[in-house]
Structure 1
Amino acid sequence: MPDFDEWVQSRGAALLRFAYLVTRDRNRAEEAVQDALVAAYPRWSKISRTGDPEAYLRRAVINADISRWRKFFRRESPVGEPSTFDTATADHAGPYAEQDAVWTLCASLPTKQRAAVVLRYYEGLPDNEIAEILECTPGTVRSQIHRALASLRTTLSTTEEVTYR
């Protein structure tokens, strides 16, 4: 198993990318990764013996982000409605704007639901691995993803109703 510095050099960028997808904010992602790595450093020999230090650190990133916003009494709040795009007048920026609208919707999800969705659809992990990272059962993972998708569908259908009136 690689030592701490080697592991961070080879997998640190992926961990930061994961943190950004979970937090949807570069500064929060960097802080969460830093907090997770600072906490992991003194226990690295034990963590690396588990066989999957990346799963451990992903969970640590999620916990660090939750702890940070709880500490400062920050609460997630729903964002404004995403804008819709007319495909007839779309320009080259259209796909990027649509992608940003999707991420804005995802940012409105609670942290654990967003983490489950990111792990499933971005990282491509199966339920049992997500459950290990989130420290819950595979059934809870499926429930979190189901609730997240239902929330996104509701938000999208509400947006469509408002748009077409």
Structure 2
Amino acid sequence: MEFEEYASARGQELVRLGFTVSGDYQRAEDLAQIALMQAFRSWKKVQRADDPHTYVRRILINSYLSMTRRRSFTEAPAAEIDTEHTVPDPANDIVNSDDLWRALATLSARERVVLVLRYYQDMDDRTIADLLGIKPSSVRATASRALAALRRTRQSHRVDERLP
């Protein structure tokens, strides 16, 4: 597959992934562009990967995690989610919950990424571990901590009952 075909076929999916981890549509577009630019620069290497799409998703996730480590990075949950620019998805009834976004914003970037990959991207722990460069046991521990934090938030703020 040529890069142009890949970008056309998977670009919006990358924007959605960027949106689910960051909660911000403009940042999601930036993350998708960064991932696609880096993939373009080393397209021959990407094509040789076992799963090129996993390779590009890893670029996006690593870019987001790097972004959150910078001092200039600030994140405030939006009062309203801009649904006009999102692509329709069956998970929107849960994802569009303002309470859920506020709760997710309390998590660390890594915790949020693990939950998004596990529950929104439907990845298993081994795949998430490979994507993040950590052990599957670290994925399970991170997910457990994140879910416990969301449950505490739900109990104290009556967040949406559909959380796992």
Q: What band does the TM-score fall into relative to the shorter chain?
A: 0.7 to 0.9
Query: AA paired with 2:134?
Result: C
Matched, 1:37 2:36: yes
Change over 3 Å in CA distance of 1:32–1:97 after alignment to 2: closer
Shift of 1:66: 2.7
Q: Structure 2: where are the runs of 5+ without partners? A: 79-92, 159-164
Give CA-to-partner distance per residue, 1:73-123, whole Å, 9 cap, x none: 22457x69xxxxxxxxxxxxxx78982211221122111111110111111
Bigger Rg, which one = 1
Q: How many residues align structurally?
A: 144
Query: AA paired with 2:65?
Result: I
Q: TM-score normalised to the size of structure 2?
A: 0.79
Q: Which structure carries more helix by proportion?
A: 1
Give CA-to-partner distance per residue, 1:30-76, whole Å, 9 cap, x none: 11111121112121111111121111111111221233343452245
Change over 3 Å in CA distance of 1:146–1:36 after alignment to 2: same
In 1: Cα distance, 2:138 partner to 2:95 partner: 32
Contact 2:46–2:55 (8 Å) recurs in 1: yes
**Structure 1 partner of 2:139:** 141
Structure 2 counterparts to residues 37-116 of structure 1, below 5 A: 37-76=36-75, 99-116=97-114
Query: In percent, how many aligned pairs have the same letter?
Result: 36
Q: TM-score normalised to the size of structure 1?
A: 0.78
